Structure 1
């Protein structure tokens, strides 16, 4: 029996999610169509709305509905500190740890030449412009302690050092190979407090 093309399309679309293979996508599609059509409608509406309204903050590159996100628009943050993280989940983890009161820049990835991700794909030109805006005195590199995260931190530090910018790296209180969004708040707070020059 041939699967309807619209169902095939739904299964194929669900496979774009991380960790979702053909079988999981098929189970999700059947569940949404057979057991939870209101949930499917809500999901479709939420995705459409998000795609229409979410964009990148002009200052930090994080997701927002406005030109400048709420965090960048706050007058209570220390504008002399700029923390560079890989993903929005990393920014959220930093905020939950309540150990950092500066500004952020979200790369939306990390350097990975094998995957075709270079400086342009992670918006390093925007980061350099932001770091050299005259307000920033220190750039804190908080990329993950993976091979790609370390390479990204090293590349950014080289770009900023030649321009006379002070660059620090969060301390290795985090496990090697670990990612910020999976670390407890105490460990992350200690890593930020013990950051070092690189």
Structure 2
């Protein structure tokens, strides 16, 4: 069998490293770009470069943004006394699509999973506690608002539940109301795949834990 040209092999290998893309899909994508107009490949290459060069993590909520603080954290119309805790940046987008939530966020970048070797120190939990403490000790002139409620919106699976309970145990002694999304979400599902109606009802029916 004639070996593939090195540029083709390199791109197939690069696509194969992406989640959900196997060797066959990687090959199809590669040959599509090879046969398509040159502008498509160049636009893709430019978009990938700008993705890494022009994005960062918000220093307040750790969501992915193009500025610091992000647009949500910098918005004075949001309720900064209400923080929604999510696992991933995609979860922020899922909740925003419901238009039912008007507080701010804190992105953990994962969930506690002993099987995968992910512990509390691997998540943005320490940063969350520091954020809560800073909100209660900052001067009023600094624009800091004491946190009134923490809404735990981790995924409704074993890892998400364990993460929510761990955070709740840390925050409840601080005298802050801790709530959890109502069980309108399917057990074992991921937040990013929930439809707007289901997620909106879960937000509206959140309960104390």
**TM-score > 0.5 by shorter chain:** yes
Secondary structure of the corresponding residue to residue 18 of structure 1: coil
Q: Between 80-89 and 186-195, report the one with greater CA deviation.
A: 186-195
1:152 aligned residue (133, 142, 163) = 163
Corresponding residue for residue 188 of structure 2? 177
- Alignment partners' CA distance in 1, 2:151 and 2:91: 13
Kindly state the Cα deviation for residue 10 of structure 1 after the two structures are TM-superposed: 1.0
Deviation for aligned residue 1:175: 1.3
The answer to whether the Cα contact below 8 Å between 1:131 and 1:139 also exists between their aligned partners in 2 is no
CA drift of 1:121 comes to: 2.6
Please give the residue correspondences for 1:19-30 in structure 2 after superposition, counting only pairs within 5 Å.
19-30=20-31
**Per-residue deviation at 1:127?**
1.5
Separation in structure 2 between the aligned mates of residue 154 and residue 37 of structure 1, nearest angstrom: 51
Matches within 5 A, 1:39-188: 39-132=40-133, 133-134=135-136, 135-188=146-199
- Per the normalisation by structure 1, the TM-score is 0.93
Deviation at 1:157, TM superposition (A): 1.1
Mapped to 2, the partners of 1:171 and 1:185 lie a distance apart of 14
Number of equivalenced pairs: 198
Q: CA 1:95–1:34 in structure 2 vs 1: closer, same or farther (change >3 Å)?
A: same
Shift of 1:45: 0.6
2:187 match: secondary structure: coil
Q: In the aligned structure 2, how far is the partner of 1:16 from the partner of 1:102? A: 36
Secondary structure of the residue aligned to 2:118 is coil
| Unaligned residue ranges in structure 2 (runs of 5+) | 137-145
| Aligned counterparts of 2:149 and 2:199: Cα–Cα separation in 1 | 19
C-alpha separation between the residues in 2 aligned to 1:112 and 1:136? 27
Aligned CA RMSD, in angstroms, stands at 1.5
SS of 2:72's partner is helix
Structure 1's unaligned 5+ residue stretches are none
Report the equivalent of 2:142.
none
Contact 1:10-1:29 at 8 Å conserved across structures: yes
Q: Following TM superposition, by how much is the alpha carbon of 1:4 offset from its aligned partner in structure 2, in angstroms?
A: 2.5
